[in-house]
Structure 1
Amino acid sequence: MKGTVLVTGASGFVGRFLCMRLISESWNVRGTLLESESPSCLADKVEPVTVEPLGRNTPWTHALTGVDTIIHLAARVHIMDDHAADPMTEFRTVNVDGTAQLA
């Protein structure tokens, strides 16, 4: 094994294909899931790790233990029928604050 990679957004379109590629190149891959997601949505051989929704207080310690590399793909995108009271604030909370918390 080359090492352990944490892929956030591992259940998304890009994330699934990236995980498969990393596995084919002998990486140990850990993929994040929200509580509402099933591990079956991850590519085969991906170690699932459940995380809270991205934001400024998202705890990452358990997901990062033993990780050598992080590839951050999780984001709030393509919400076609958005019911958030303030969609722009929701986008910033996930895409800006959540990313900063992971960094």
Structure 2
Amino acid sequence: MSFPFAAFAPVAVIVGALVVGGWVLTTWLRIKHGYPLDGAWGQAVYPKTDDAAMERIKLLSQENAQLRAELGSIKDRLANVERIVTDSSHILDQEIEKLRSPRN
């Protein structure tokens, strides 16, 4: 008794069509949402290096620099608050009085 290949052929065609259709669908979704396409070994097939991507990188770099500067000023302010909280009250009173006295 031999295996009936005629009964297996439609199943193989349906499975093959589903695999190809799934591959096409995932590739389309990746392109639609801006993900880079990968080759067989994970390398980018079409990396985005267009003007819009470069402008976006430039804007993000500028925003990163601004946020780092703001974080630095916040760290300085926090250090002053910590110094005020941890200093003895006598030294703090003297510094406040220095600020209140008129300068010559």
TM-score range, shorter chain: under 0.3
Larger Rg: 2
Structure 1 or 2: more strand by fraction: 1
Larger RCO: Structure 1 or Structure 2 (Cα < 8 Å, ≥ 6 residues apart)?
1
